[in-house]
Amino acid sequence: MNYDLTNLPDYWYRKEIEKARRDLRYFIFSKECAPIMLRLAFHDAGTYCKRTGTGGPNGSIRKPEEFEQSCNRGLKTAIDFCEEIKLKHPMISYADIYQCNVFIGSITDSGSLNLLPTKSDKLHFRGCTNDLDTCRHCCCGDQWWPYH
C-alpha cells in the first residue's frame, strides 16, 4: 500500500497550530489581554500593499524598527506575551502565532475564524506602514490600508 506523504509536514504544522491556538486562548482569557492581542494581529497585517504584494502578516512587527513606530506604541507587551507561546511551540512561525490572536473572537463570543497558515516570518516590513502620513507617500499613493 502506498501512502502520499507530501502533505505530512502541513498536517503536523496544522496540529501544532491548533495546540498553540488553545494555549493562546487560555493565555488571553487568563491575562484578559484580548484587545492588545487583536491589535497586534491587525498591525502585523497592516503593512500589506496590494500594488506591490509586499508586507502583510509576516511577523516583522517583532523588530524594533516596526514596533517602535508611534502607531504601534504599546504592542511590545503583546509581542512579549506571544513569546511565551513561541517558546512552547517553536515550530510555529511568529507570523502564524500573531495571526492566531484573531481567534480571540471565540473567547469574547464574537464567532470563530479559520486560519490559513503562512509558515514564513520576515525580518523586514516592506510595504505600507501603519502610519497614515508615511503611507500617503509610499508606493501605494494616497490610499491607506485596507483600501490599497
Candidates 43, 89, 124, 148; catalytic one = 43
89 annotated active-site: no
Within 10 angstroms of residue 121's Cβ, the number of other Cβ atoms is 16
Cβ-based neighbours of 29, under 8 Å, separated by 6 or more = 107
Q: Name residue 54's beta-bridge partners.
A: 49
Cβ-based neighbours of 40, under 8 Å, separated by 6 or more = 61, 75, 78, 79, 82, 98, 101
d(CA 130, CA 46): 6
Residues known to be catalytic: 43
